[in-house]
């Protein structure tokens, strides 16, 4: 069995000497995901990120491993590192480790001393876009393998898969999974490092992820804008009609999503897990957000807040067009309003069924006969973890106690990782460890995103132990 002290020492040194400097280089590359940068091929930022990671992997790949670079036509690239194991090494007992290297766009609101493409380290926090979500994953995965080999600890065959389209819903990934099917094999364990943490004090295991149905809603009322004094009271504003349509979907007073077809029955096990997490985090469930003074959460019950963000649908309006900036806002009744809708759906709800519900709800019988169009982005499925095997549950607690001094906790997450739903369907017998470094204030997708370096080091140590226990479960 690996010596936890030696593992910690190796991981700490490897992170400081080999990982942190490279993540800082990676942060400086504006490799925004294709959904947000349709001209990504011409801009070349994705290729820069690929070459940075590829060069680093080539310099640090474990002995005997093979690096595959996927370059399917008109698709984002893929990195696939195949690392042989010490066991019978059958392709049917593979550990698949996952991460991604594309990023969300810049977002406004960064502090004056920070910026999305400006890596800044302040103590244990490394600021900049993409370091935590989740540029560190490929480096941490390889670090964990080296930590085992440093102590001559055996592990099963490992495939490290790093994609470049996750923030766009992973549209390119199915083609690569098919293309590299013989390399990927049949995983018995999937380790995903793209999730969250309720605090920075223990290991967090993600038990579920919500899916997403995203769409652009446009309401047209006129062919061109007209004087508001002349038309208001005769022509209904496009904004009011959009607001009225959204009230079919969401109770504007409570935020509850109204159609029954967008809800599922929450499993009792998940309710119990939410209650346990609430008893540990208490106010941290909501205090982690940068609230305006006097602003309050939608309820004071932390268990209900956890269930709201993990198993209940929710709407966010994430963008708009057709509304001028304040400096350009004349007295004009505008011809149209366009809103970008992000609808989170429960983990077990079919996203295609959810899309059909939303389509019918928002476009049928438009008020005043307005022209209402709804253009959907690719829907992403949610995911609910299978029952945790005894050996894996024990290893999560052992690892958390060893590196954090507290037991592991299990909680759903409100975001989406499309690959997890895909893998759950494709490999129903696999076990899953979905975890990550996105803890309080780390602010993935928003301004001032940071990677908590000390937490990430300990998480890497935990992964090392899990890989060891996976091998020894049948030894």
Domains of the chain by residue range: 4-209+382-472, 211-277+307-376
What confidence score (pLDDT) does residue 88 get? 57
Domain 211-277+307-376 has CATH 3.10.180.10: no
- Give the SS3 label for residue 47: helix
Query: How far lies 229's CA from each of 288, 337, 424, 475, in Å?
Result: 45, 19, 57, 80
Q: What is the pLDDT of residue 30?
A: 98
Cβ–Cβ < 8 Å for 362, 245: yes
pLDDT at res. 101:
98
CB of 401 closer than 8 Å to CB of 407: yes
The CATH code for residues 4-209+382-472 is: 3.40.630.10
Per the DSSP assignment, residues forming a β-bridge with 237 are: none
Q: Which residue has the tokens 């899916």?
A: 211
Same fold, 4-209+382-472 and 211-277+307-376: no
- Phi, psi values for residue 279, rounded to 5°: -70, -25
pLDDT score for 87: 65
Measured CA distances, 344 to 119, 341, 416 (Å): 31, 10, 8
| pTM across the whole model | 0.91
What residues in the chain have per-residue pLDDT under 50?
Answer: none
What's the pLDDT score for residue 367? 98
> SS3 of 294, please?
coil
Residue pair 98/173 in contact (Cβ under 8 Å)? The answer is no
Among 165, 157, 141, residue whose Cα is nearest residue 61: 141
* Chain centre distance of CA 289: 17
For the residues of 122-176, what is the DSSP string, one character each? ETTEEESTTIIIIITHHHHHHHHHHHHHHTT----EEEEEEES-GGGT-TTHHHH
User: In the prediction, which pLDDT does 251 show?
Assistant: 97
Helical packing angle, 45-60 and 137-150, nearest 10°: 0
Q: In this predicted structure, what is the pLDDT of residue 92?
A: 73
pLDDT of the residue at 89: 53
Quick one: pLDDT at residue 112? 97
The CB density around residue 436, as the number of other CB atoms within 10 Å, is 27
């Amino acid at each position: 069995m690996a010596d936890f002290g030696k593992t910690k020492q190796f991981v700490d040194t490897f992170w400081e000497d080999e990982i942190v400097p490279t993540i800082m280089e990676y942060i400086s590359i504006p490799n925004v995901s294709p959904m947000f940068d349709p001209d990504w091929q011409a801009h070349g930022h994705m290729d820069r990120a690929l070459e940075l990671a590829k060069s680093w992997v080539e310099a640090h790949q474990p002995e005997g491993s093979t690096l595959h670079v996927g370059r399917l036509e008109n698709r984002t690239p893929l990195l696939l590192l195949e690392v042989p194991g010490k066991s019978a090494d059958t392709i049917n007992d593979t550990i698949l480790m996952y991460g991604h290297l594309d990023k969300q766009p810049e977002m406004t609101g960064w502090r004056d001393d920070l910026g999305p493409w400006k890596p800044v380290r302040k103590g244990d926090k490394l600021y900049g876009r993409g370091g935590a979500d989740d540029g560190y994953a490929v480096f941490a995965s390889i670090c964990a393998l080296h930590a085992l080999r440093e102590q001559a600890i055996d592990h099963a065959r490992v495939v490290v898969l790093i994609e470049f389209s996750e923030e766009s819903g992973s549209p390119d990934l199915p083609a690569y999974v098919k293309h590299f099917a013989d390399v990927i094999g049949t995983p018995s364990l999937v380790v995903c490092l793209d999730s969250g943490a309720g605090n920075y004090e223990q290991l967090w295991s993600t038990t579920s992820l919500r899916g997403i149905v995203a769409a652009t809603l446009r309401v047209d009322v006129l062919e061109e804008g007209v004087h508001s004094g002349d038309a208001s009271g005769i022509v209904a504003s496009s904004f009011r009609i959009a607001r009225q349509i959204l009230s079919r979907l969401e109770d504007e007073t409570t935020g509850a999503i109204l159609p029954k077809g967008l809800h599922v029955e929450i499993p009792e096990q998940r309710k119990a897990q939410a209650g346990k997490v609430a008893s540990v985090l208490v106010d941290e469930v909501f205090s982690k957000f940068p609230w305006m003074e006097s602003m309050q959460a939608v309820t004071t019950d932390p268990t209900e807040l956890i269930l709201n963000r993990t198993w209940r649908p929710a709407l966010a309006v994430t963008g708009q067009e057709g509304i001028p900036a304040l400096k350009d806002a004349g007295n004009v009744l505008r011809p149209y309003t366009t809103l970008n809708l992000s609808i989170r759906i429960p983990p077990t709800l079919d996203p295609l069924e959810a899309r059909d519900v939303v389509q019918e709800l928002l476009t049928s019988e438009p008020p005043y006969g307005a022209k209402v169009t709804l253009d959907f982005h690719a829907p992403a499925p949610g995911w609910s973890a299978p029952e945790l095997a005894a050996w894996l549950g024990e290893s999560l607690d052992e690892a958390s106690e060893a590196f954090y001094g507290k037991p592991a906790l299990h909680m759903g997450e409100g975001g989406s990782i499309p690959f997890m739903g895909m893998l759950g369907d494709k490999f129903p017998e696999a076990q899953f460890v979905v975890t990550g470094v996105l803890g309080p204030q780390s602010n993935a997708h928003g301004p001032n995103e940071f990677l908590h370096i000390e937490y990430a080091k300990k998480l890497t140590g935990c992964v090392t132990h899990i890989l060891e226990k996976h091998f020894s479960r049948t030894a």
